[in-house]
């Protein structure tokens, strides 16, 4: 049943200040339920229930459950997360745990070595997704996550959190398209800045080489003049 049809069948909202008979809402609700129950035998759009799990309802793009981490191209190398820990610090129930990956010299590799979210604690607030400055963490629409493993099953690591940019595009096309456009514009800006820097460095190098060549030529000319003077 479409959302519009459902809204059409709801009773009109009474104007503020108008007297409402006690229990009217309950009666109206029961009338709608009764209509749905009887008419569902001969009207398909009155069927308000589905045979789950054989049938699945279409999930609203606004539905959000637990967070996931987005990667471009490859899960191992394309993770957008830089392990900046902003989401970890902002998460109200503190259910995110991040360890920064480092090389053998201790230098930051700007990616997480460990990224865990305890979904038994997560309250689906979406703050992590709002504060992430690297377009890395978004709220997922997955809801079939029940498990009998109280601890391991509800602790999501990188293997379960990392999902592709294509997944994000399918889940929320509008949001993902805006993010991709923004990232593309940023990349183009970076590439233009790098090209301008390289061109400036090349021009500086050429100017230096030209100045050195001119200085050398001047030195040689002076030496030649001095030599001429001595021989005269
Ligand atoms: S949705 Fe909220 S509670 Fe869950 S990990 Fe993000 S910030 Fe924490
Ligand atoms: S998900 Fe975003 S905010 Fe959280 S650590 Fe990674 S880059 Fe930082």
What share of the chain has pLDDT > 90, as a percent?
70
d(CA 177, CA 127): 21
pLDDT: which is higher, 143 or 11: 143
Task: Specify the pLDDT at position 9.
Answer: 59
* Ligand of minimum distance to the alpha carbon of 117: 1
Average pLDDT for residues 43-61, to the nearest whole number? 85
> pLDDT band at 116, cuts 50/70/90?
very high
The atom number, within ligand 2, closest to the CA of 131 reads 3
User: Ligand 1, from 64, 89, 127: best to mutate by most atoms within 8 Å of Cβ?
Assistant: 127
Q: Which pair of structure tokens corresponds to residue 112?
A: 């997480």
Q: What is the pTM of this model?
A: 0.72
- Mean pLDDT for all residues in the chain: 90
| Residue 1 pLDDT | 43
Average pLDDT over residues 125-132: 97
Structural contact between residues 67 and 161, judged by C-beta atoms closer than 8 angstroms: yes
User: What pLDDT, on the 0 to 100 scale, is given for residue 224?
Assistant: 87
In 119-181, at which residue ranges do the beta strands (DSSP E only) sit?
137-139, 155-156, 162-164
Q: How far is the CA of 83 from the centre of ligand 2 (A)?
A: 5
Beta-sheet strand order (sheet of 137-139)? 137-139, 67-71, 162-164
Cα distance between residue 154 and residue 168, in whole Å: 22
- pLDDT of 153 over the 60 cut: yes
Q: Averaged over 44-56, what is the pLDDT?
A: 86
CA-based Rg of the chain, rounded to a whole angstrom? Answer: 33
With a 6 Å cutoff on the Cβ, whether 91 touches ligand 1 is: yes
- Here the tokens at position 86 are 């902003």
Looking at the CA of 121, which ligand is closest? 1
pLDDT (tens digit, 9 = 90+) per residue, 1-42?
444 454 455 667 777 778 888 899 999 999 999 998 999 899
Q: Is 40 exposed, middle or buried (0-12, 13-18, 19+ CB in 10 A)?
A: middle
pLDDT at 11: 64
Residue 74 has pLDDT above 80, yes or no: yes
Distance from residue 109's CA to the centre of ligand 1 (Å): 25
pLDDT tens digits for range 157-207: 999 999 999 999 999 999 999 999 999 999 999 999 999 999 999 999 999
- How many residues appear in the chain? 232
Do residues 171 and 61 touch, judged by C-beta distance below 8 A? yes
- d(CA 119, CA 145) in angstroms, rounded, equals 10
Q: Atom 6, ligand 2: which residue's CA is nearest?
A: 81
Whether the pLDDT of residue 61 is over 90: the answer is no
Residues 207-221 have pLDDT tens digits of 999 999 999 999 998
Whose tokens are 């959000």? That residue is 64
What 3-state class would DSSP assign to 100? strand
Q: What does the pLDDT read at residue 45?
A: 82
């Amino acid at each position: 049943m479409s959302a519009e049809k459902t809204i059409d069948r709801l009773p009109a909202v009474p104007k503020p200040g108008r007297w409402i008979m006690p229990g009217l809402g309950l009666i109206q609700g029961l009338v709608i339920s009764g209509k749905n129950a009887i008419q569902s035998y001969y009207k398909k759009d009155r069927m308000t229930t589905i045979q789950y799990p054989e049938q699945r309802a279409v999930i609203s793009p606004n539905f959000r459950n637990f967070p996931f981490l987005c990667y471009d191209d490859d899960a191992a190398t394309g993770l957008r997360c830089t392990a900046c820990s902003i989401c970890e610090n902002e998460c109200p129930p503190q259910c995110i745990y991040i360890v920064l990956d480092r090389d053998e010299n201790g230098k930051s590799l700007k990616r997480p070595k460990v990224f865990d979210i305890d979904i038994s604690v997560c309250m689906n607030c979406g703050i992590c997704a709002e504060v992430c400055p690297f377009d890395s963490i978004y709220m997922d629409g997955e809801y079939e996550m029940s498990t009998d493993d109280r601890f391991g099953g509800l602790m999501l690591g990188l293997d379960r959190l990392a999902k592709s940019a294509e997944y994000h595009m399918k889940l929320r096309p509008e949001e993902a398209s805006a993010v991709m456009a923004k990232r593309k514009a940023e990349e183009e800006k970076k590439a233009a800045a790098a090209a301008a820097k390289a061109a400036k460095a090349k021009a500086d190098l050429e100017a230096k080489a030209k100045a050195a060549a001119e200085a050398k030529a001047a030195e040689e000319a002076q030496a030649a003049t001095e030599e001429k003077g001595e021989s005269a």
